[in-house]
């Protein structure tokens, strides 16, 4: 199918527009965060969930709606984020329409899709946790920061023109395997941010920690998103093995990307186990979750770009 340059152009415009909207939403979240008063429930409960598992021993803080400008700014930031993710999704749809294939065949497209899933996951988590929406909204800027960085890198150093699939990727498995990997990675981004903030918020006293939700809430967000993402990541690895057998004649060849994906799976399995084990709940489990996402980022960038292997599809 020939490439439609006009549709590709509008896809790039939508991508850039989404990036600007995410950046503006992040700034609004930062303004709300800095202008918000320190919640009494958060200050009192800071560190209370440390090592206790949080969810089983502490009730989530009650949502006390902020009054005045911070509240309006925060709600505007969420609305702007919602608009941005719609524009972002249209960018992916247009990219696919421009070439007639799924829009995640190179690093630019893959990174864009991950960010779209991450922001969508964040908005869903915010909606579902309506009883603590005001406190959770303060995480918005921290979630959008890696999204903005990744999208900036995607639109600059990782950008690739729309092109047909290379022969090794021309299979229906790209829809199954890669879409599962994208969904899991995007959800785990939110989980990783929550665990990182848990580690920041556990020791009381800092200005940043004082305005974060309590550690129980952060732990709950990190754990629940990881629980959703882990089976999806498991399926992505299994689907990749099936595709490898069809494409290369073996299910597993210890290719660098396969190996790194398996390492990430083991780390996340360790996190979920630690999260349910007395003595490992709290900071130890949060550290494991952060390490897991660091492995995912290593797999996404270093393995794709630097290491040569059967999965070298960076498109750079």
Q: What residues contact residue 107 under an 8 Å CB cut-off, 6+ apart?
A: 154, 158, 160, 304, 305, 313, 314, 315, 316
pLDDT in tens, 262-275: 999 999 999 999 99
pLDDT at 250: 79
Count other Cβ atoms within 10 Å, centred on residue 64: 12
CB-CB contact of 136 with 40 (8 Å): no
Task: Tell me 65's DSSP state.
Answer: -
Q: Could you tell me how far CA 64 lies from the centroid of its own chain?
A: 28
Count other Cβ atoms within 10 Å, centred on residue 260: 21
Nearest alpha-carbon partner for 119 in 216, 260, 19, 266: 19
Q: What residues contact residue 27 under an 8 Å CB cut-off, 6+ apart?
A: none
Q: What residues contact residue 312 under an 8 Å CB cut-off, 6+ apart?
A: 304
pLDDT at 12: 95
pLDDT tens digits in sequence order for the chain, 316 residues long? 678 899 999 999 999 999 999 999 999 999 988 877 665 444 444 444 444 444 333 344 444 444 578 788 988 999 999 999 999 999 999 999 998 888 988 889 999 999 999 999 999 988 887 666 677 888 899 999 999 999 999 999 889 888 887 776 778 888 899 999 999 999 999 999 999 999 987 665 566 677 788 888 889 999 999 999 999 999 999 999 898 888 778 788 788 888 899 999 999 999 999 998 888 888 999 999 999 999 999 988 887 776 655 555 555 5
Q: In the chain, which ranges are continuous DSSP H helix? A: 5-35, 40-45, 69-99, 107-128, 133-136, 140-155, 173, 179-201, 207-211, 215-248, 256-275, 283-298, 304-305
pLDDT at 124: 92
pLDDT at 104: 86
CA 199/CA 10 separation, integer angstroms: 41
Q: Rounded to two decimals, what is the model's pTM?
A: 0.84
């Amino acid at each position: 199918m020939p490439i439609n340059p006009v549709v590709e152009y509008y896809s790039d415009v939508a991508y850039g527009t989404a990036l600007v909207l995410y950046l503006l939403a992040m700034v609004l979240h930062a303004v709300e965060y800095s202008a918000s008063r320190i919640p009494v429930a958060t200050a009192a409960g800071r560190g209370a969930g440390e090592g206790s598992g949080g969810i089983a021993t502490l009730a989530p803080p009650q949502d006390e709606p902020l009054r005045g400008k911070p509240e309006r700014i925060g709600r505007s930031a969420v609305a702007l984020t919602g608009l941005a993710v719609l524009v972002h999704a249209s960018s992916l749809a247009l990219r696919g329409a421009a070439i007639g294939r799924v829009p995640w065949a190179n690093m630019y497209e893959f990174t864009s899709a991950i960010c779209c899933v991450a922001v969508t996951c964040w908005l869903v988590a915010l909606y579902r946790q309506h009883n603590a929406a005001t406190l959770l909204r303060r995480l918005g800027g921290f979630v959008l920061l890696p999204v903005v960085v990744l999208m900036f890198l995607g639109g600059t150093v990782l950008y690739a023109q729309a092109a047909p699939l290379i022969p090794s990727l021309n299979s229906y498995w790209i829809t199954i395997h890669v879409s599962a990997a994208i969904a899991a990675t995007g959800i785990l981004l939110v989980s990783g941010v929550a665990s990182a903030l848990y580690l920041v918020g556990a020791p009381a006293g800092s200005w940043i920690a004082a305005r974060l939700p309590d550690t129980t809430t952060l732990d709950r967000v990190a754990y629940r998103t990881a629980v959703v993402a882990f089976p999806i990541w498991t399926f992505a690895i299994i689907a990749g093995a099936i595709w490898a057998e069809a494409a290369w004649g073996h299910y597993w060849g210890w290719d660098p990307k396969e190996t790194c994906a398996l390492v990430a799976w083991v780390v996340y399995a360790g996190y979920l186990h630690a999260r349910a084990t007395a003595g490992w709940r709290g900071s130890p489990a949060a550290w494991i979750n952060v390490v897991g996402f660091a492995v995912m980022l290593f797999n996404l960038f270093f393995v794709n770009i630097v290491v040569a292997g059967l999965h070298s599809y960076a498109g750079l």
